[in-house]
Amino acid sequence: MRVVFWTEAFWPAIGGVEVLASRLLPALSQRRHEILVVTDDDMGRLPSQDEFRSIVVRRPSMRAALLSRSPERIAAVRAETAALMQAFRPEIVHLNCPGASGFFLRRTPTSRRVPLLATLHSERAMPSGGSATLVAKLVADADWVTAVSEQVLAAARLALPSIASRSSVVYNAVEEPAEEPQPLPFDPPVLLYLGRLAPEKGVDRALMTLSRVASIYPHIRLVVAGDGPERPTLEAQATQLGIRDAIDFVGWVSPARVPALINSATLVLMPSRWEGLPLAGIEAALMARPIVGTPVGGLAELVENGVTGLLVNGAPTELADAVVSLLGDRDRATAMGWAARRRAQALFGWGTCVDSYDRMYEKVRRENVHGRVG
Amino acid sequence: MEGLASRVRLNDQEAVAKIIDGEAILINLVSGVYYSMDGTGAVIWSLIQAGEPVERMAASLAASYDVTLEQAAIDIEAVVRELLEQRLVVPDDVPSSFPTAPVAAGNGTKLPYVAPALNAYTDMGDLLALDPPVPGFNDISWEK
């Protein structure tokens, strides 16, 4: 099947959404799907034509055109996206993480209406502006909507009740790493945060948690892996809290190195304010690490509270208490890690994820709910 | 059309607009909100651009689309009011020097009518303000 995978960002952009796509698309292309990735050129920083593991990638300057507010530039990009679609003749479009570039998908004239699958990655995916928003219109256009967790689906259905009968969950997943989980290190304990450094991820909470736990475990370390707009603020916060020397800001880590990084941690902190279903959490579980986090988005589905990790509200005192309780009971922490691994293997299996999208493509093409064929 | 200006024109101090492939794309440069009008909406925008008086637009639409003059007038008034509210157009009482013709319907058959609508994308500013998730990509050895 010819599939246009339309996404706000793709390799070499890094983040859970991008890493998942970079693994999913090669897997789907091995199942008779011919895939064209349409994504943005990040203000001209990425080449307009590229290839990722034999998958063709095209990057029109969509964001730049929209930011220019120039109708002429918008018209030019629209012509470019229309030409891409007409040349490729997709049988379905998979809109991954609807965003600003969807303006061109919605406005791209084709000789026929192409069935549309939309995938939502965050419980905040649907904006508050109701139907007068681009994202709501894109999702309303979709023949089927998938969400990466039950919580994300519930939030989307609440915002747009009309999708209730044509939406479902396809859990994010991670292929089980070749590395075997190593014993949890306790001397000294190492906390790990892995992900974007953005306000919704609550890394500031992780720092405040560390400052409290460090009074009991003075040699404890926190590894902050990832980058983003909050990094300068977080580094300043660490200095202000007097814990800068206990934190390693290691920046982005290659996806291939993530299992080894997790293996070096005692537990993983995920104190998010809102979430989708974080790949880092699934990876942590597969490496038999307990998670201490907040019950938001898919985290509440990923972590069985008290069994595979501890979910508390985002207050640093509660997070710190949870961390201290696990560091003080090594057997319990270890048992939780292995329970997390078993749960991840059962619920977030890679094969299930690929099968689900494969079947979804067939379903969307076959049913073409909106039946818009011109 | 009580209270409605006889003509409106693009509010070129605050907005830009262009018809692209039969669809009007409008952007309020002050609010950052994007809009589109397709089908009969794009026809109305082209009539606005041509300086057509609002009260004559209904006749243009009714001549080409399967709609009564009265219904067309009601729908046009609604969409023009919305354009005014969104500051995409302003009243303009300078007569156009360009005569306009009804929309061509081909062989005399009237086109199916869908009421004109102004589609707003109020989240565009927020979406464009999001940080693209690319920081540091040049420094990472992604296995390809």
pLDDT in tens, A16-38: 899 999 999 999 999 999 999 99
Shortest Cα distance from B130 to chain A (angstroms)? 9
**ipTM, 2 decimals?**
0.80
Q: Does A259 touch chain B (CB under 8 A)?
A: no
Judge whether residue B143 has pLDDT over 90.
Answer: no
How many alpha carbons fall within 13 Å on the CB side of residue A53?
18
Q: How far apart are CA A133 and CA A136, in angstroms?
A: 5
**Residue B120's closest CA among A135, A151, A289?**
A135
Q: Answer with the residue of higher pLDDT: B17 or B99.
A: B17
**Set of chain A residues whose Cβ sits within 8 Å of the Cβ of B141:** 254
**Measured at the alpha carbon of residue A162, what is the angle toward residues A112 and A158, in degrees to the nearest 5?**
135
Taking the domains of chain B in order of start, what are their residue ranges?
Answer: 8-139
Judge whether residue A129 has pLDDT over 90.
Answer: no
Mean pLDDT rounded to a whole number for chain B: 84
Mean pLDDT of A201-218: 97
**Alpha-helical runs (H) found in B22-123:** 40-49, 54-64, 69-85
User: In the structure, what pLDDT confidence band is assigned to residue A372 with cuts at 50, 70 and 90?
Assistant: very low
> Which of A14, A62, A224 to probe by mutation at the B interface, max B CB count within 10 Å?
A14
Q: Does B133 touch chain A (CB under 8 A)?
A: yes
Domain A190-347 CATH (choose: 3.40.50.10260, 3.40.50.2000, 1.10.1040.10, 3.40.50.300): 3.40.50.2000
Judge whether residue B54 has pLDDT over 60.
Answer: yes
Give the percent of chain A with pLDDT over 70.
97
Judge whether residue A13 has pLDDT over 60.
Answer: yes
Tokens of B128: 């464009």
Judge whether residue A167 has pLDDT over 60.
Answer: yes
Give the percent of chain A with pLDDT over 90.
85
Q: Does A185 touch chain B (CB under 8 A)?
A: no
CA B26 to chain centre: 6
Helix (H, G, I), strand (E, B) or coil at B19: strand
Judge whether residue B102 has pLDDT over 70.
Answer: no
What is the model's pLDDT at position A374?
Answer: 28
What is the model's pLDDT at position B93?
Answer: 72
For A33, counting Cβ atoms within 10 Å of its Cβ (0-12 exposed, 13-18 middle, 19+ buried), the class is buried
Taking the domains of chain A in order of start, what are their residue ranges?
Answer: 2-173+350-367, 190-347
Q: How far apart are CA B84 and CA B77, in angstroms?
A: 11
**Set of chain A residues whose Cβ sits within 8 Å of the Cβ of B133:** 9, 13-15, 17-18, 196, 228
Residue A134: DSSP 8-state? H
Mean pLDDT of A268-275: 96
What is the model's pLDDT at position B79?
Answer: 96
Q: Does A75 touch chain B (CB under 8 A)?
A: yes
Q: Which residues, 6 or more positions from A299, have their beta carbon under 8 angstroms from its beta carbon?
A: A270, A272, A275, A277, A278, A281, A291, A293, A311
Q: Which of A15, A63, A78 sits opposite B133 (nearest CB)?
A: A15
For A121, counting Cβ atoms within 10 Å of its Cβ (0-12 exposed, 13-18 middle, 19+ buried), the class is buried
At B7-30, the pLDDT tens digits run 999 999 999 999 988 889 999 999
A-facing residues of B in 25-64 (CB < 8 A) are 25, 27, 29, 32, 34, 36
**Residue A133's closest CA among A102, A87, A88?**
A102
Mean pLDDT rounded to a whole number for chain A: 93
* Contact between A134 and B144 using a beta-carbon 8 Å cutoff: no
Judge whether residue A274 has pLDDT over 50.
Answer: yes
What is the model's pLDDT at position B6?
Answer: 85
At A295-317, the pLDDT tens digits run 999 999 999 999 999 999 999 99
In this structure, the number of other CB atoms found within 10 A of the CB of residue B115 comes to 17
Q: How far apart are CA B122 and CA A128, in angstroms?
A: 10
Q: What is the third-level CATH fold of A2-173+350-367?
A: Rossmann fold (3.40.50)
Q: Answer with the residue of higher pLDDT: A164 or B4.
A: A164
**Measured at the alpha carbon of residue A357, what is the angle toward residues A354 and A360, in degrees to the nearest 5?**
150
User: In the structure, what pLDDT confidence band is assigned to residue A98 with cuts at 50, 70 and 90?
Assistant: very high
Mean pLDDT of A109-120: 82
